[in-house]
Amino acid sequence: MTDLRLDIHGVGKSFGGLEVLRDLDLAVRPGEFAAVIGPSGSGKSTLFNLVSGLDTPSTGDLLIDGEPADLRSGQVAYMPQKDLLFPWRTVLDNTALGLEAQGVRRREARRRAGELFGVFGLDGFQGSYPFQLSGGMRQRAALLRTVVLERPVLLLDEPFGALDSLTRTEMQLWLADMWQRYRWTVVLVTHDIREAVLLADTVHVLSPRPGTVIERIQVPLPRPRGIDDLTEPAFAAAERHVLGTLQGRLIP
| Residue 15: φ, ψ to 5° | -120, 100
Gap between the Cα atoms of 250 and 174, Å rounded? 32
- Name the pLDDT band for 87 (thresholds 50, 70, 90): very high
Q: What is the mean pLDDT of the chain?
A: 91
| Contact between residue 25 and residue 10 where contact means Cβ atoms under 8 Å apart | yes
pLDDT-wise least confident of 19-33, 60-74, 120-134, 142-156: 60-74
Please say if the pLDDT value at position 197 is more than 60.
Answer: yes
The per-residue pLDDT for 73 is 67
The per-residue pLDDT for 162 is 79
The per-residue pLDDT for 52 is 85
State the average pLDDT over residues 179-207.
95
Please say if the pLDDT value at position 82 is more than 50.
Answer: yes
Please say if the pLDDT value at position 161 is more than 60.
Answer: yes
Gap between the Cα atoms of 166 and 41, Å rounded? 27
Ordered strands of the 67-68 beta sheet: 18-28, 6-15, 59-64, 67-68
Q: Give pLDDT tens digits for 15-48.
A: 988 999 999 999 999 999 999 999 888 888 899 8
Instruction: Sketch the domain layout of the chain as residue ranges.
Output: 83-151
Please say if the pLDDT value at position 1 is more than 80.
Answer: no
Please say if the pLDDT value at position 149 is more than 50.
Answer: yes
Gap between the Cα atoms of 183 and 213, Å rounded? 24
Q: Which residues contact 236 (CB under 8 A, 6 or more apart)?
A: none
SS3 state at 247: coil
The per-residue pLDDT for 140 is 93
Please say if the pLDDT value at position 70 is more than 80.
Answer: no
| Contact between residue 139 and residue 83 where contact means Cβ atoms under 8 Å apart | yes
Please say if the pLDDT value at position 252 is more than 60.
Answer: no
Name which residue leads in pLDDT, 203 or 162.
203
The per-residue pLDDT for 72 is 62
Please say if the pLDDT value at position 159 is more than 60.
Answer: yes
Please say if the pLDDT value at position 2 is more than 80.
Answer: no
pLDDT-wise least confident of 73-77, 97-101, 176-180: 73-77
The per-residue pLDDT for 59 is 94
**pTM reported for the whole predicted model:** 0.91
